[in-house]
């Protein structure tokens, strides 16, 4: 698709939490940087509980501004950013209101971007209403997760949206793919000869991918209790990160080349036999506990959660990839709420040396590993063994830091900022294609079905810990353990 520098960015759910914390701050950062957004570009917010533009700008000043002023705020840049923002009051349940939006934007130059920061139940009605007033032409649609509840519902949404927008117009966003260390993982693998010979079953013992949160469900109890960690995190974020780690080198970095290789990984995931789910998947639910010195409640007592809920707030799964590169290498995925720390990282554990003349410490698991930290601090760190100073040959773990902030003076771009710029500029490589999404849903579906029909409750774990003991036991069977001591 061709694009020019001009754009109209229409934000549905303009007063929602995502718009407040992520989307509008990301657009402001791109605006403040200069040159990233065309001067003629406009932002149209859509909501029904605000009357006019003046009221909306007051809301932006009160709710969005605190999220962009943590490191100081350029008031002139903020004032000029507000000049970009327009507002249209629309009841999303009334298709006739979309005439107001069409009249407001139809004569503006450039590409149109419609960002659906709404619940998935509104995706299809919004798309149909846009089409009814001719706004699906020369446009792009951004869909936030979750896209469906299972494979069937996901296909239903994709079918309906696909009748209105072509696949190259649809941007299914997964913000983890926009994080700087994920981009650097691609550069590390495909821009250097050092790691490629090691990135395979002969030299990799196991790989861990963790997304851990200290927070509970907060004010999202109703939503989360009908979703759970497997749908909320594993089906999208974790499997997307796995596909980036495990993919073959694409012939170029164009969108379909990258996504074709990711799809091959997802299609090569070893199907899970329902009889083996208790061996390869652990689900847990947090109970009360203490995090950073503060007592926190059990999941079942959170607002909006059913007292007898069996929804999982923790998942750990073992994944195998049935291809030449990764046969026999276990991938361990883990995510949870109310855990001991907030961290997202990828850990590549290399195999120990085949024989050590330097003692048993050279043979211990994880002595050589690569840690790609996605949050809270974004780093890549390579661990190896070195001799301790002094008498004897005593080995200790040391590490090499890839400190990008010391090499590059410009600050790192936030994930949403990168992805929003990619939408405006028509770059699809970091967005999920429909066939990728279907492959991911197809793989998790046996777990979803077994958990929904079994009478086994989730395993309890105390808030402030690293989850149920069964998750550690699963790794112990493979002679390894979760990496939990990094700072």
409, with CB counted inside 10 A (0-12, 13-18, 19+), is exposed
Q: Is 49 an active-site residue? A: no
How do beta strands 170-172 and 139-143 pair? parallel
Question: Which residue, 317, 295, 298, is CA-closest to 308?
Answer: 298
CB–CB of 300/307 below 8 Å? yes
Q: Which is it for the CA torsion 7, 13, 15, 16, positive or negative? A: negative
Please pick, among 31, 49, 63, 237, the residue that the annotation labels catalytic: 237
Question: Which residue, 158, 154, 178, is CA-closest to 169?
Answer: 158
27, with CB counted inside 10 A (0-12, 13-18, 19+), is buried
Q: Which positions are catalytic?
A: 237
């Amino acid at each position: 698709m061709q694009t020019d520098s001009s754009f109209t960015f229409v934000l549905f759910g303009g007063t929602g939490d995502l718009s407040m914390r992520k989307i509008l701050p990301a657009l402001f950062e791109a605006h403040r940087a200069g040159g990233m957004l065309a001067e003629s570009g406009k932002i149209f917010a859509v909501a029904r509980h605000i009357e006019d533009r003046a009221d909306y700008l007051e809301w932006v000043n009160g709710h969005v501004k605190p999220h962009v002023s943590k490191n100081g705020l350029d008031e002139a840049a903020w004032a000029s950013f507000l000049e970009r923002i327009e507002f249209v009051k629309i009841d999303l349940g009334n298709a006739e209101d979309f005439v107001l939006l069409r009249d407001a934007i139809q004569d503006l130059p450039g590409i149109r971007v419609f960002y659906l920061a709404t619940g998935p139940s509104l995706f299809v009605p919004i798309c149909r209403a846009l089409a009814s007033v001719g706004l699906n032409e020369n446009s792009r649609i951004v869909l936030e997760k979750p896209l469906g509840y299972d494979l069937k519902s996901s296909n239903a949404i994709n079918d309906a949206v696909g009748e209105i927008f072509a696949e190259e117009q649809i941007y299914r966003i997964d913000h983890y793919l926009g994080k700087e260390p994920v981009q650097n993982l691609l550069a590390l693998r495909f821009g250097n000869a050092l790691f490629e010979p090691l990135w395979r079953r002969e030299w990799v013992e196991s790989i861990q991918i963790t997304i851990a949160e200290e927070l509970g469900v907060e004010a999202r109890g109703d939503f989360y209790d009908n979703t759970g960690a497997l749908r909320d995190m594993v089906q999208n974020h974790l499997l997307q990160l796995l596909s980036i780690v495990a993919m073959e080198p694409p012939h170029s970095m164009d969108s379909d080349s990258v996504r074709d290789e990711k799809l091959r990984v997802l299609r090569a995931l070893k199907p899970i036999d329902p009889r083996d789910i208790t061996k390869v998947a652990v689900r847990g639910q947090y109970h009360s506990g203490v995090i950073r010195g503060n007592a926190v409640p059990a999941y079942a007592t959170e607002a909006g959660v059913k007292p007898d809920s069996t929804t999982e707030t923790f998942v750990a799964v073992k994944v195998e990839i049935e291809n030449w590169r990764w046969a026999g290498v276990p991938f361990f995925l883990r995510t949870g709420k109310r855990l001991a720390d907030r961290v997202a990282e990828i850990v590549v554990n290399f195999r120990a040396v085949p024989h050590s003349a330097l003692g048993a410490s050279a043979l211990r698991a994880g002595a050589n590993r690569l840690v790609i930290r996605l949050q809270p601090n974004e780093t890549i760190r390579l661990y190896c063994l070195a001799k301790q100073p002094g008498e004897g040959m005593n080995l200790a773990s040391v590490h090499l830091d890839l400190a990008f902030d010391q090499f590059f003076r410009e600050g790192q771009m936030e994930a949403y900022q990168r992805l929003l710029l990619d939408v405006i500029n028509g770059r699809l490589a970091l967005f999920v294609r429909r066939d990728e999404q279907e492959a991911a849903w197809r793989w998790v579906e046996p777990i979803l079905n077994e958990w929904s029909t079994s009478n086994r409750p989730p395993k309890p774990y105390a808030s402030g810990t690293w989850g149920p003991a069964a998750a550690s036991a699963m790794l112990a069977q493979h002679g390894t353990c979760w990496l939990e001591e990094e700072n």
